[in-house]
Structure 1
Amino acid sequence: MTMTRERGAGALPAPVLLLIGVFAVAIFGQGGYYPAAQALLAVGLALAMLATLRTRGPPWSELRYPPVLACGALAVWALLRATLGGEPSDASGYVLMLAGVAAVIVVCGRTTRTERDVLLDALTALAAIAALTGLIGVAWHYSPWALGYGPVWRAATTLTYMNAAAGLLVPVGLLALGRLADEPRSRVRAAAACVILAGAAATLSRAGALAFVVGAAVLAGLIGPRRFARAAGPPALGAAIAWAGLLPSIVHPHPTPAIAALALVAGLAAATVLARPPSLATRRVAVAAVVAAMLALGAGVAAGGGLSRIRADRLTVSESERSHAGTVALRIAEQHPLAGVGPRHATLAWAGPGSRTFVARYAHDEYLQVLAELGAIGLALLVGLLAALALQVWRARRWVASPGLWAGIAAALVAAAVHGGFDFLWHVPAVVLVCAALAGAARSSETATAVVARRYRRPPLREQQPKGSVVT
């Protein structure tokens, strides 16, 4: 009997394995944006739900979970609005994405604490690999892992889109920092956070930077500034060193991969060494890392006006295409305020110079996109969904055993909500499903055990045994 218990405890259940596979397909399959990858995601999520039903029974309580109900309400309204427009199939994007979100929340909500931790470890590892592909892409000017954007090269990772890469890496990076606050001496977690933050910085995403600042402020407020500095300091320093070494490849037409590789190694060394109080032996490694970092910084400064190029291209809030698309979306919402024009019917077109007509598929603002397509009703349902997620994550603080993990999840979801106002991230399944997994992880099945233990505070069974008895 003991052998059976140990074997069962060491094996991951099928739903968790299937979810990890789904996230791998989404992250490494261009974000799951295209139909072939979406078909694999749908099959994987369906199998995960079936496996959950088979191994753990019908999820009646999860189906009454407010975020799941909110997903259903928004999906029903999108389908109804598309039907009123004569094309029910136009709502397929909304319906499938919301069904995927609900499925991930349900499956994650039925995991044990150990299974949840393994799932989050897998998510962090997948994000770190994706970030590494972005760093490699910029260092070698390898497309599509990096893309030339004006005078600079930006990391696009396996998602092949810079802002979507930031939309994935920023929330997972905040999650990694939150978990590092629970285990500040973990060198593995520090190294993973370093790579993820460096990859996020290499995207040069302005909205990603804003989302990270907001999320970091939330994280610091929830765990305390001192714990935040202790957790975020080593990986942030390592990421800064890695980014400095990447700077010549970012701004020059010819890549310098040797400098980038040296800086990445130095950054990882700095992050891992500083994660623990350095001894005499590790101080030498730290000195070597600092020397290498200074070389990388010197090379970055010598990049010939590199910082000025980045400042001129990225440190600006004006971008004509996005501003025009947002203006057109607002105009559509004014003309159809209550129900919108229907899914896939928001034509964002405007006249440009030279009598040319410009057309954008997305408003680069998910809130405006929903308002234009589904009207005030759809926007209200979306706000209700976000509010339900926020409320449930806030309630989870009472029973999650790891305060840093809970704070990291909260900060990650806040960052994702902020970033959604600046790009079409919610049309990228990799970003949406990862955020759904974080929301579901805050409500794993450890909650019932933790609540009962706190409420009744009964001693463990072994402590209740009389002397001389044998526990079998």
Structure 2
Amino acid sequence: MSLVDPLVQQRFSASTLALLAAVTAGVVAQGGFYLPGRIVASVLALVSLGLAVREGARFDRGLRWIAVTGAAIVLWAGVRAAMTGGWGTAGGIALSLLVLLAGVVVARRASAADLATGLTGIGALVAVTGWAGVAWRIERWSVLVESTIWRAASTLTYPNAAAAVLAVAGLLALALLLAEPRSLGRAWVLYLILAGLGATLSRAGGLAFAAGVLLFLIFAPVRQVLRHLAPALLGAGIAVAALVPSFPVAAEPDPLLALAGLAVGGLVAVHLPRLHGRWLAAAWGLVLAAAVGGLAFLLTRPLPARLEAVSRRRFTLDSRGRSGALRSALDQAAAHPLLGSGPGQARYFWQDYSGQLVASRWAHNEYLQWLVDLGAVGLVPLAALAVAIVVLLRRGRAGGATPLLWTGAVAALAALAVHSAFDFLWELAVVPLLIGVLIGLAARSHGEEPSAPSINGEVPA
């Protein structure tokens, strides 16, 4: 596979701009979790669909299968809502699937490079605002978790949701950088997104991003991936380390140190891949020596109170909320294994970190949540939808979709699939929209590329 892909260079179409506006609205309106934000993001997505149809978008067999399986899901959710209640949740499922379909249609018609660039730009804004929220304790952009540590959340106001968006944006940014390895702008965008992802302190977000990177290592040149990703991760690590004094609630934030760390990390992330030969070897030698020295220093001394507060909460596999919700959800799934409890009817109970009883509508695992709500019968059309998506993705790869952007989109889909096992992401309107956009980016073919804009009826060379 060639490293430099023939990315389509074209002005943003009206449907692409409307689609990016829908994603932006979803991100700004707390992910579209609440009804007003969901309505705005969904309406903009449907407007983009209408514009794409007007521009010549086609509904082929692959899209029809997605529509049919989605309709089966909606039908079953409606049947269960008629039996148990939960029409609001059933309606939300229908709207989410419609928005997902809109994302697929518009993304297949859009310029892949333009759309991916727009999404990474949105991701960079989410990252910077989340990072600033921690560095300056801006409550609109950061969240105090368990009365212990501040975590980046940006306008989504939920750190794990912000991490999901940033994982998607980071994988697309990596694809764009691999396609244009000399671009300073793309290198800075990838670095900022990874720094923002680290500032969320989301374990699920980090695991999801790692799953996406694994696909890159399978489908893209390993040496080139590591050449650009390793410095970006190193730089992001420096930036997050400089945020450590600002994470614990018991300490005063240190924005000057955070700014210095962001600047130094950026220089490492952006300029280290541009070194060659002895300069590159010397630079990595200094980096490894600094890392070994820092690790030895930490191992010979007790952890500072600020670092200990962060490590005790985030660098552990223990999560009382998720494990408690998991046990509660498994009990309810066992009680109604075939038909489910009905859309949105289940409630989950567990004890939090302080021993207090917690009640929630969400199981922090979308697959288990689906089983609880709609039963094993409801899993059948969901699995059929997944199969239809995989078939469409395979057709996109065989049909000529840009290889690196195909890899980036599929890696981002894998990241969302992994993250969905740890959070209630599908309840946010922006996530089904992103899923649809990623499917559309990966399901392109040569015949679906927009034609170049003409001048006086002639197509420029």
Fold match, TM over 0.5? yes
8 Å CA contact 1:27–1:159 kept in 2: the answer is: yes
Deviates more, 1:215-224 or 1:200-209: 215-224
SS at match of 1:341: coil
Offset at residue 374 of structure 1 (A): 0.5
Answer yes or no: is 1:433 the counterpart of 2:433. yes
> Counterpart amino acid of 1:147?
V
Q: Distance in 2 between matches of 1:320 and 1:94?
A: 28
Q: Distance in 2 between matches of 1:96 and 1:436?
A: 13
Answer yes or no: is 1:70 the counterpart of 2:69. yes
8 Å CA contact 1:28–1:130 kept in 2: the answer is: no
Which residue pairs with 2:190 in the alignment? 193
Q: Distance in 2 between matches of 1:131 and 1:303?
A: 28
> Counterpart amino acid of 2:32?
G
Q: Distance in 1 between matches of 2:197 and 2:392?
A: 28
Offset at residue 299 of structure 1 (A): 13
Q: Distance in 2 between matches of 1:97 and 1:286?
A: 46
Which residue pairs with 2:310 in the alignment? 310
- Alignment root-mean-square deviation, CA: 3.6
Answer yes or no: is 1:136 the counterpart of 2:135. no
Which residue pairs with 2:13 in the alignment? 13
Q: Encode CA deviations 1:3-35: one digit per residue, 9 max, x unaligned.
A: xxxxxx964322111101101111122111111
8 Å CA contact 1:245–1:297 kept in 2: the answer is: no
Which residue pairs with 1:119 in the alignment? 115
SS at match of 1:318: coil
Offset at residue 87 of structure 1 (A): 5.2
> Counterpart amino acid of 2:307?
L
Larger radius of gyration: 1
Offset at residue 185 of structure 1 (A): 1.9
> Counterpart amino acid of 1:149?
V
- Which of 265, 268, 276 is the aligned partner of 1:267? 265
Q: Distance in 1 between matches of 2:132 and 2:297?
A: 18
Q: Distance in 2 between matches of 1:344 and 1:133?
A: 33
> Counterpart amino acid of 2:364?
H
> Counterpart amino acid of 2:142?
A
8 Å CA contact 2:109–2:448 kept in 1: the answer is: no
TM-score scaled by length of structure 1: 0.83
- Which of 243, 254, 257 is the aligned partner of 1:256? 254
Q: Distance in 1 between matches of 2:135 and 2:284?
A: 24
> Counterpart amino acid of 1:98?
L
8 Å CA contact 1:240–1:267 kept in 2: the answer is: yes
Q: Distance in 2 between matches of 1:221 and 1:205?
A: 25
Cα gap change, 1:157 to 1:90, in 2 (>3 Å): closer
Q: Distance in 2 between matches of 1:297 and 1:24?
A: 40
Q: Distance in 2 between matches of 1:86 and 1:259?
A: 53
**Counterparts of residues 341-352 of structure 1 (less than 5 Å):** 341-349=341-349
> Counterpart amino acid of 2:420?
G
Q: Encode CA deviations 1:372-414: one digit per residue, 9 max, x unaligned.
A: 0000122232233223323322332223453222111121111
Offset at residue 443 of structure 1 (A): 2.0
Q: Encode CA deviations 1:435-472: one digit per residue, 9 max, x unaligned.
A: 2211111123535579xxxxxxxxxxxxxxxxxxxx99
Which residue pairs with 1:214 in the alignment? 211
Answer yes or no: is 1:60 the counterpart of 2:56. no
8 Å CA contact 1:19–1:48 kept in 2: the answer is: yes
Q: Distance in 1 between matches of 2:354 and 2:244?
A: 37
8 Å CA contact 1:79–1:95 kept in 2: the answer is: no
Q: Distance in 1 between matches of 2:312 and 2:354?
A: 26
Q: Distance in 2 between matches of 1:149 and 1:76?
A: 39
Answer yes or no: is 1:163 the counterpart of 2:173. no
Offset at residue 72 of structure 1 (A): 2.4
Which structure dedicates a bigger proportion of its chain to helix? 1
Deviates more, 1:411-420 or 1:233-242: 233-242
Long gaps (5+) in structure 2: 1-8, 451-459
> Counterpart amino acid of 1:224?
P
> Counterpart amino acid of 1:166?
A
Which residue pairs with 1:93 in the alignment? 92
Q: Distance in 1 between matches of 2:415 and 2:446?
A: 26
8 Å CA contact 1:241–1:297 kept in 2: the answer is: no
